[in-house]
Amino acid sequence: MEPYPSDALARISGDVVASPDAGRAMRAWRERLGIKQVALAHALRLSASVLSDYESGRRPSPGVQFVKKYVEALVKLDEGKERVVSKLVARGEEQAILSIGEFTAPLEATKILSALDATVLSGDPDQVKLYGYTVVDSIKTIYALSGYDFYRIFGATTERALVFTKVGMGRSPLVAIRVSQLKPRMVVIHGPREVDPLAIELAKKERLVLALSGVPTDEALIASLREVQEREAAPRRGP
């Protein structure tokens, strides 16, 4: 059997640590994997009642070391069954990240905005250069890429544009960025006709360029970005 991927450990650990209720997050993952509380308690060399106290919040929030042991025990038990975590991690990432690209040289943000028919809502794009872009499904990003995995959308560098599709009013993507330690240089949202004023205020607080794309479809948006990337990567011809 192949070694269990480190992404599986990171995904669950990040989700638990980032959760406002670590006990509930741990229990949710255990139940999602179909692992009995008694079996996990035995693997951790704890009584089922003590483990129940942690999961229900009757004991103080578990520390990082306990979370690490808890997740490692979960993954080990799952490894002997259907390896559900590996499937969930792969499926979540594949569905959430629609396209990702890196530029061979810094690219003016204005070129990206032009390609996406975007209206600037906050910040000064004339002062920004980008080294890449990531297009994500906003709904699947919020629900599938929590904790550690959210950082994976930044690719090789944070000096990039994050483009969120299927956006309602724009609040959720900006809130996710607000609480993340990593920040992009520019955020482009696609979907709404109007943007929540709170999203604009959050962009200003984070000193981000925020823009609203007018491209009609997700497919057209991704195609436009890839065209820019290919054009910038093409060799320059002399006069």
- 126 and 191, same structural domain? yes
Could you give the CA distance from residue 82 to residue 98 in angstroms, rounded to a whole number? 27
Q: Is residue 87 part of a domain?
A: no
- Per-residue confidence (pLDDT) for residue 86, from 0 to 100: 53
Could you give the CA distance from residue 37 to residue 207 in angstroms, rounded to a whole number? 46
- Per-residue confidence (pLDDT) for residue 10, from 0 to 100: 62
Q: Is residue 62 part of a domain?
A: yes
Instruction: Output the DSSP codes for 101-139.
Output: EEEEEEEEHHHHHHHTTEEEEES-GGG-EEEEEEEEEHH
Q: Is residue 88 part of a domain?
A: no
- The domain in which residue 58 lies consists of 6-82
Instruction: Output the DSSP codes for 49-111.
Output: HHHHHHHHTSSPPP-HHHHHHHHHHHHHHHHTTT-HHHHHHHHHHHHHEEEEEEEEEEEEHHH
Is the CA virtual torsion 210, 132, 86, 166 positive or negative?
positive
- Per-residue confidence (pLDDT) for residue 37, from 0 to 100: 93
- Per-residue confidence (pLDDT) for residue 115, from 0 to 100: 96
Q: Dihedral (C-alpha) 48, 73, 142, 97: value to the nearest 10 degrees? A: -160
In the numeric block, which tokens belong to residue 131? 């080294």
* Chunked mean pLDDT (size 10), the chain, 239 residues: 50 67 82 87 93 87 81 81 54 67 91 96 95 84 54 78 90 82 91 92 95 95 92 64
Q: Is residue 30 part of a domain?
A: yes
pTM of the model: 0.60
Q: Is residue 160 part of a domain?
A: yes
- Per-residue confidence (pLDDT) for residue 11, from 0 to 100: 63
- 109 and 204, same structural domain? yes
- Per-residue confidence (pLDDT) for residue 27, from 0 to 100: 87
- Per-residue confidence (pLDDT) for residue 139, from 0 to 100: 67
- Per-residue confidence (pLDDT) for residue 8, from 0 to 100: 59
- 126 and 63, same structural domain? no
- Per-residue confidence (pLDDT) for residue 91, from 0 to 100: 47
> Residue 54 belongs to a domain with what CATH number?
1.10.260.40
Q: Specify the number of domains making up the chain.
A: 2
- 135 and 215, same structural domain? yes
- 225 and 127, same structural domain? yes
Could you give the CA distance from residue 67 to residue 143 in angstroms, rounded to a whole number? 21
